[in-house]
Structure 1
Amino acid sequence: MNTRDKILGCALRLFNENGVAQVSLRTIAADMEISLGNLTYHFKKREEIIEALYFELVSKLDHVINAEAVVENPLESLFDMPSATISNFYEYRFLMLDFVYITRNHEVIRNHYQKLMEVREQQFEGMINGLIEAKLIREETIADEYKYLFKNLRIVSDFWLSAACIDKNSTISQIDIPEGSRLLRQMIFPYLTTEGRSVFFDRYTV
Structure 2
Amino acid sequence: MADFETILERGGALILPTETVYGLFASALNEEAVKGVYQLKRRPLDKALNLNVASLEDILAFSKNQPPYLEKLYQTFLPGPLTLILEANQAVPSWVNSGMASVGFRIPSHPLTLDLIRKCGPLIGPSANLSGQASGLHFDQIQADFKGQVDGFKDDDFLTGQDSTILDLSTSKARILRQGAISKEELVSALPQLIFQD
- The two structures have a TM-score, normalised by structure 1, of 0.26
Indicate the structure with greater strand content. Answer: 2
Bigger CA radius of gyration: 1
Identify the structure with bigger relative contact order (alpha carbons < 8 Å, sequence gap 6+). 2
Structure 1 or 2: more helix by fraction: 1
